A and B are shown apart, each in its own frame.
Chain A
Amino acid sequence: MRPNQNTVAGRRLPRLDGAAKATGRYVYGTDVTLPGTLYGKVLRSDMPHARLTRIDVSAARAMRGVRAVITSADVPQVRYGNAVKDQTVFATDTVRFVGHPLAAVAADTLEIAEQALSAIAVELEPLPPLFDPEAALAPDAPLLHPDWQDYVALPVIAREGNIAGRSRMRHGDVEAAFAQAHRVYEHRFTTALQHAGYTEPRAASAAWDSTGVLTVWSNGQLPFEVQATLADILELPVSRIRVVVPGIGGGFGGKLRIGVEHFAALLARQSGRPVKMITTSEEELIAAHPRQAAIITVKTAVSADGRILARQGRVVVDCGACSGSGPGTGAVALQCLVGPYRTPNLLMESLAVYTNKVPSGSFRAPSGPMANFAVESQMDIIAKDLGIDPLEIRLRNIVREGDLGPAGEVLKDVSIEECLRRAADAIGWHDRAAEPGRGKGIACSWWMTTGGSSAVFIKLNGDGTVALTSGAVELGTGALTGAAQILAEELSLDLEDVRVATVDTLHVPYDYGAQGSRTAFSVGNACRAAAADLRQQLFALVAAQHGVPAEEMMLRDKCVVAGDKRIPLADIARQQYTGGGLVARGTALNPPPAYDPARVENHPLPVWNTPSFHAHAADVSVDTETGEVTINRYVVAQDVGYAINPTYIEGQIEGGVSQGLGQALSEEIVYQDGRVLNANLTDYKMPTSLDVPPIESILVECPSAAGPYGAKGVGEPPCIEPPATIANAVAAATGLWITSLPITAEKILLRLKGEP
């Protein structure tokens, strides 16, 4: 089947869940309310680092309407976590951040639960806090996890003291290249904590049944990880834990790790009643899983004509009080520090470091924007110093088809030149008449399509429609509509003929989860495999009945076409009720490409699957009186391989860019002395409709060998380049590079006035 003959895939069809969402009928995690439910709340530490000397819940337990109160003393003494098991449900003897859970309460109403929290007596003895990740690296720094050596971690993770994960990539000899280079540039960049900003808070309902099986209704992105984490915490086999995901109001990576499911489950167990929990905006901003703040140093050697000879980089990600997603996030930054550039000598290191702040997570393209901000700002600084056009210096250095990537993998389906040229043309790169306070910037990057397996079950119904069951959740991206378009295409159905089942770990097959730009890609591949299985079954049945060889059959217009016969799928499905019905299965394994292990050390994602390439360009004005940045135009050229549904790909680009513009210009969880100063949605400044400019999307289609019809991952890349693009455009307008995110009006104005 050729993509350009497709009638369902590749079309701008409305998403399957659109009408339900637009009419308020779609059910989200926050909408699940079980009969007889209690409401749960968490008591959190108000000190960043302290010894917990006493916690007395007797008064809270005695309150009317309070049905359960739990602390560390009431739960299994288990450490859990993704890369490093360094987290406990509640603080046991030490609190490590403002927001650290101390106790939880379930009561008849939310008001009673809140009153009960204030009836819990807590005594904390302050310990010296550690807020600066670089200070935490000092040899004499106090250890935030003195028992770190007893923690269990994934074998790939290298740890030491306050370092929860250290990864390296290396190739060639950077020192020799630095010694011989025309010039060597070294810069330091910093970025801020950014909340994922999903509009539906993290929520869970939990209930135990009479057989001891726990059911949790979760709005998490990774139902199988929620299940496994609950199994760790509750010390139960996974088969005793059922995770149902009704609907998700955005995640963007912020809902990868467990949210409040474990509190709800433990409170439900103690009370013997269902428990519902929803996090508040304040809890989201002090105790969710934001994008890490990072410190990036980049040292690059170049020839006189601007060719990269060597690059050394270090990224320090501030994991906060627990490692969270930090070790993997830090490591992924290394590929972005190399960027889509030929780099003959490289030495990259990432450090994920504990501090007394919120444990952080992996927001959309987790460390991509930070690393990209550093290297792409530096590319422009180098270009200016050498008198080379910023577009030209990139074109001189970009990787080409068949080049080796940083892990020694062979790069295929490389489209970075087309992306750069099309973004530049669209923004009018060669028409940059000098205008005070106005400038254009460009930045580019690459990103992975995360691997991991997916499986789907499909069932042909008696009316000729198909039920699609997978373990992949719909975050809002439209990825499952995309997968359904592929399935419909393969079975000659209309999109509306595919019904997507709700995820319930009791009966859905495994999926690696809605993360890493992988859902449409991976579930789409599994749908193609399942469709092939179903076709084979259909053709065998028709062959047996009509004596036409299966090789001569095809599907067209919802029928099996066998010679001059056309047999509707619905008829075959109904006939086959006597044979147990028609069910098929497909899997996608998405194996990583071969790479050179000698180039990587302790890297959880050493080589990227099916990379995508992209370039962004912006035209901005800077008000030199106020420092305010106005974005006049913003252009994205992104290689999506094959546009399964252009409308929702544009939606990914427009939404990802607006999140990236938030990180570039306004978003920061501001800490002072370990406390968040802006824990509400007025002071934490996400872009509103007044802040996001029109975004022009150019969909480049350089097909991949691995994706359905050539598709590549789409969801994360759009938020990688905005900080660098804006920084470079601001520099073009003012002559000044702001090297710390967000690039606020205040920072610009101070620099314009000559302050450092």
Chain B
Amino acid sequence: MRNPLTLTINGEQHDLLIEPHWTLLHVLRGQIGLAGSKENCLEAECGVCTVLLDGKAVNSCILLASLCAGRSIVTIEGLGDPEHLHPLQAAFVKHGAVQCGYCIPGMILTAKSYLDEHPDRMPSRDEIREAISGTLCRCTGYQKIIDAIAAVAAERAGKGAQEDAP
């Protein structure tokens, strides 16, 4: 028995018919064709399915799609495209933070959520470590991921300092 549902994803409305038990990840990948949100444990243990819900990073694999009505969903496809990379995406590529890349959409969205929540200061590397600790990466040892996030944060802090300057 499928029910109608309207979701706002990357700023666009999608009118859907869904089963009540479908997760947001299932709908994104299976119904809408946004495969950038990745699939692995389906138990909120690995973080590769992370999306932004009203700006906050959430594991879409355990979130019922029906609970997302009326809320803003942003997936990795909503951040930038290969010709117009978001600063976090550009930094991940530049700093060698991408290897197999399977965890990277979730990592980037987790980082965005964290940086957006802390707009006024430069986080330490340990704070960045803490912020991304819910997303497993097996390839990189996290070092270059932290480099990339720190670089974006530093650039933002630099810009802020310039704007504040008299």
A residues with a Cβ closer than 8 A to B are: 12, 14-15, 17-28, 30-31, 33, 196-201, 248-250, 252, 278, 280-281, 475-478, 647-648, 650-651, 654-659, 680-682, 686-690, 692, 694-695
Contact = CB atoms under 8 A, between A and B. Distances in A.
B93 to A, nearest CB: 4
Interface residues of B, number: 57
B144 A654 contact: yes
A583 to B, nearest CB: 28
Interface in B18-45: 29-30, 34-43, 45
Interface string B140-154: 111111100000000
B161 interface: no
A686 B144 contact: no
B103 interface: yes
Given A24-B37, A476-B139, A655-B139, A248 B129 contact: no
Contacts of A24: 34-37, 75-77, 105
Contact of A689 (B46, B95, B146): B146
Interface stretch (B65-73, B80-88, B116-124): B80-88
Contacts of A198: 100, 102, 138
B100 A248 contact: yes
A278 B96 contact: no
B89 interface: yes
Given A19-B85, A21-B100, A695-B143, 5 more contacts: A15-B93, A199-B38, A278-B39, A476-B99, A694-B143
A456 to B, nearest CB: 22
B82 A23 contact: yes
Contact of A695 (B41, B92, B141): B141
Interface of B: 29-30, 34-43, 45-46, 48, 75-77, 79-82, 85, 89-90, 92-96, 98-105, 108, 128-130, 132-146
B136 A252 contact: no
Given A31-B35, A281-B43, A197 B138 contact: yes
Contacts of B93: 14-15, 18-19, 22
Given A24-B76, A281-B40, A680-B41, A199 B133 contact: no
Given A200-B40, A655-B141, A657-B141, A22 B100 contact: no
Contacts of B95: 647
Residue among A12, A197, A198, A249 with most chain B CB within 10 A: A249
A19 B89 contact: yes
Decide if the interface of chain B is mainly helix, strand, loop or mixed: loop
A281 B82 CA distance: 31
A664 to B, nearest CB: 13
Nearest to A248: B100
B42 to A, nearest CB: 7
B96 A25 contact: no
Decide if the interface of chain A is mainly helix, strand, loop or mixed: loop
Contacts of A695: 141, 143
Contacts, number: 176
Contacts of B128: 689
12 contacts: A14-B94, A18-B93, A22-B92, A24-B105, A199-B40, A281-B46, A476-B101, A477-B139, A651-B139, A680-B45, A681-B136, A682-B45
A656 B143 CA distance: 12
Contact of B139 (A31, A250, A280): A250
A23 B36 contact: yes
A200 B108 CA distance: 17
Contacts of A680: 41, 43, 45
B96 A648 contact: yes
Contacts of A26: 101
B138 A252 contact: yes
Contact of B45 (A14, A658, A681, A690): A681
A651 B96 contact: yes
Contacts of B36: 23-25
A479 to B, nearest CB: 11
A278 B26 CA distance: 14
Contacts of B30: 33
Nearest to B36: A24
B141 A250 contact: no
A657 B140 CA distance: 9
B136 A23 contact: no
Nearest to B146: A689
A658 B142 contact: yes
Nearest to A199: B102
B136 A688 contact: yes
Contacts of A30: 38-39
Nearest to B46: A681
Contacts of B108: 22
Contacts of A692: 141-143
Given A30-B38, A281-B43, A689-B132, A21 B142 contact: no
Contacts of A475: 100
Contacts of B40: 199-201, 281
A477 B103 contact: no
A686 B129 CA distance: 15
A581 to B, nearest CB: 28
B89 A23 contact: yes
B92 to A, nearest CB: 5
A31 B89 CA distance: 21
A682 B132 CA distance: 16
B101 to A, nearest CB: 3
A689 B98 CA distance: 15
A197 B136 CA distance: 9
A24 B78 CA distance: 10
Contacts of B76: 23-24
